[in-house]
Amino acid sequence: MRTQVAIIGAGPAGLLLAQLLHLRGIDSVVLEARSREYIENRVRAGVLEYQTVDILKGAGVADRLLREGLRHEGVEVLFKGRRHRIDFGALTGHGVTVYGQQEVVKDLVAARVATGRPIHFEVDHVSVHGIDSASPSVRYRAGGSEHTIECDFIAGCDGFHGISRPSMPSDVLRLYERVYPFAWLGILAEAKPASDELIYANHDRGFALLSMRSPTISRLYIQCEPDEDLATWPDERIWEELQVRLSTVDGFRLDTGPVLQKGITPMRSFVAEPMHHGRLFLAGDAAHIVPPTGAKGMNLAVADVYVLSEALSHFYKGQGPAKTEKLERYSATCLQRIWKVQRFSWWVTSMLHRSHTDNEFDRRRQLAELEYLTTSRAAALTFAENYVGLPLG
């Protein structure tokens, strides 16, 4: 099999890259280790920056998003029993849209199938070869048979645990990581969201977040231990803890309901540099992970593949040595934004979570930072412009 770009991974990064390349007349093949049913029902983040929405609109995959997505013009920060609103619209002129990652994936899979271009699910034994040459290849097994894709470029969009990043030479790759001493216990519940906007809560017992996926489905989180045993958290205990951490002096209460899903999310910051070597390019979680507090994971993936699609288009339309210019700058272009997003995600995480190593000084400092954030226009603007999305280039 021959194609121009072999894409490993059918998450938001790989699928969006395939769609953007298709619109530019560039051929691709998408490989995915999981089934279509699995990737379309895997619950992940759901806050989209305004630029992410614009990119999805430009890719022709935003019709359902624009109908069903929940537009938010701000968030609320809760501490010492009081809620404080940060008005994104007034501060930046932009907002965000709440629309689940699995819904984005469904839309992108449908768009890919509609193009008639190849997308292969449930493949295994994937390996990359010849990335230092002008003719790399990807080998994989599907249906008990061995296959090879000859291509010009390989896009590694296969996540943190995928094969793409480890396929880069170890003496080239530099890894930067911070593992946090806490995790999130998250639930998806059939309950009307108790707020029209997200609530980020700092409580003496730890962080909590009220989010939503629709007018009838709530998504909620509480800070917990990384090695927490989910069996010790029956639904009743989760709801009780959420009520405590999201309580206010004016008697705010959550609407409760059946818990549809629950799980533990570890917290880490991770960056791999550079994001390309030879003809292999990394995008999304294959290259970086952010703690979910800042709602940046999928947005970074979308930014990566937008930059990569532009660079590949420039290559195929260009002439002479200049046609590789944007591809050569791909890593540096993406990393400039990634490190700013890492800084923001770390800042919000450290401001809202309690750590076992914190003493009373740390607690007072944290509360002072929250007071400053919610009383200073300059601090609120910094938060808002990062939350709605930094410029792509």
Asked about 57 being catalytic, the answer comes back as no
- H helices of 191-296, where? 235-245
Give dist(CA 293, CA 274) in Å, integer: 25
Asked about 316 being catalytic, the answer comes back as no
Catalytic residue among 12, 50, 72, 291: 72
- Cβ atoms within 10 Å of 220's Cβ, excluding its own: 29
Give dist(CA 152, CA 279) in Å, integer: 7
Give dist(CA 57, CA 48) in Å, integer: 12
Strand 208-214, strand 96-98: pairing:
unpaired
Catalytic residue among 99, 140, 200, 221: 200
Catalytic residue among 12, 136, 291, 292: 292
Asked about 180 being catalytic, the answer comes back as no
DSSP conformation class of 93: S
Catalytic residue among 140, 306, 330, 387: 387
Asked about 72 being catalytic, the answer comes back as yes
- H helices of the chain, where? 12-23, 36-41, 50-58, 63-68, 88-92, 101-115, 235-245, 297-317, 325-352, 360-375, 377-388
The structure tokens listed for 163 are 């094969």
Give dist(CA 42, CA 347) in Å, integer: 28
Asked about 50 being catalytic, the answer comes back as no
The structure tokens listed for 291 are 């703690």
The answer to whether 83 touches 77, Cβ cutoff 8 Å, is yes
Catalytic residue among 296, 326, 330, 353: 296
189 class by beta-carbon count within 10 Å (0-12 exposed, 13-18 middle, 19+ buried): buried
Measured between alpha carbons, how far is residue 295 from residues 23, 222, 299, 336, 341 in Å? 28, 15, 8, 18, 10
Q: Would you please indicate which residues are annotated as catalytic (active-site) residues?
A: 72, 200, 292, 296, 387
